[in-house]
Amino acid sequence: MKNLKVIFMGTPDFSVNVLNSLVYTTNVIGVVTKPDKLVGRKQVLTESAVKKVALENNIKVIQPTKIRNEYQSIIDLNPDIIITCAYGQFLPKEILDYPKYGCINVHASLLPKLRGGAPIHKAIIDGYTTTGITIMYMGLKMDNGDIISQKSIEIEKTDNVGTLHDKLSLLGAELLIETLPNIISGQINRIVQNEEEVTFGYNISREDEHIDFNKTKIEVFNHIRGLNPWPVSYAVLDDEEIKIYEVIIGEDIYKEKSNGEIVKLYKDGIGIKVSDGEIILKTIKPSGKKKMSVKDYFNGFQEKNNLIGKVFR
């Protein structure tokens, strides 16, 4: 496939393994990624992860602000195929109709489940036990194109969004390279998505990050690991926002306590009442401080027992 002229479109870390696999196996003639953006408190102008890989491989980089209005420079490269992975913009019909072998997307779910920009987070948050990768043709609507191939992966109870992200990124690159020869030869069975089975994994909002202690312990557990290590869930204690990275499920039930109430202090954990029992905080980040274990957090308290009875909001 070294003669196959590919334009790759992607932006975040998740896309890097896919781009690298294409660099090794095809002729990547251009990379399209989002414009550089200001990042952090110091507002440093930062390249996307995909742009860095492209420059390291001397590949032409195109960074349209709005691809609907700036597509001609992409078409002018005369690609045989366009492959996208977490690019972040909808492609206009002019691009979708151009390549000989079409526009192909690598999506991090088993479509039609979890269309959208945060399928990995939502798979964990919503309690899925399996997810996977879909290779698909692109359409004019979000993630609605015909399915070409899929491969599933188990979501382990020890997974968080970071570990599952890394597994799916590798799986996406692997499945794409397995599928490409069949796309080129035309030996594929296009599967139309069943619209009745569609669910969504929309981008995570600030509101989504807040922990609702009125939910069950497994729901709270999944919520927290589904946002760890980014963007990270949080709750408020004494008007202070505390980010919560890691919890375990407790055994005790406190029927007469309020949801969100601190009910027990362990050597290295804080027990909090939820609707059907207890979850135990293990790793947190208090406002203005670094990420730390609860054991280290306790070291900053003269009277840590004063925490008992306080309520997370």
- Residue pLDDT tens, the chain, 313 long: 899 999 999 999 999 999 999 999 999 999 999 999 999 889 999 999 999 999 999 999 999 999 999 999 999 999 999 999 999 999 999 999 999 999 999 999 999 999 999 999 999 999 999 999 999 999 999 999 999 999 999 999 999 999 999 999 999 999 999 999 999 999 999 999 999 999 999 999 999 999 999 999 999 999 999 999 999 999 999 999 999 999 999 998 898 999 999 999 999 999 999 999 999 999 999 999 999 999 898 887 766 778 999 999 9
Domain count, the chain: 2
Both 152 and 287 in one domain: the answer is no
Residue 110 known to bind ligand = yes
Residue 111 known to bind ligand = yes
Task: Check if the beta carbon of residue 235 is closer than 8 Å to that of residue 262.
Answer: no
Residue 112 known to bind ligand = yes
The answer to whether residue 313 is domain-embedded is no
How many residues in the chain?
Answer: 313
* 223 C-beta neighbours (distance < 10 Å), count: 24
Both 143 and 281 in one domain: the answer is no
Q: Distance (Å, rounded) from C-alpha 212 to C-alpha 197?
A: 27
Query: Which CATH number covers residue 96?
Result: 3.40.50.170
The answer to whether residue 285 is domain-embedded is yes
What amino acid is encoded at 222 in this protein?
N
Residue among 306, 162, 141 at smallest CA distance from 237: 306
Both 236 and 289 in one domain: the answer is yes
Please give the residue range of the domain that contains residue 56: 5-197
The answer to whether residue 312 is domain-embedded is no
Both 255 and 134 in one domain: the answer is no
Domain closes at, from 148, 177, 197: 197
Both 190 and 210 in one domain: the answer is no
The answer to whether residue 189 is domain-embedded is yes
Partnered with residue 78 across adjacent β-strands are: none
Both 212 and 177 in one domain: the answer is no
What are the phi and psi torsion angles at 244 (to 5°)? -120, 115
Both 110 and 167 in one domain: the answer is yes
What amino acid is encoded at 142 in this protein?
M
Domain closes at, from 197, 218, 235: 197
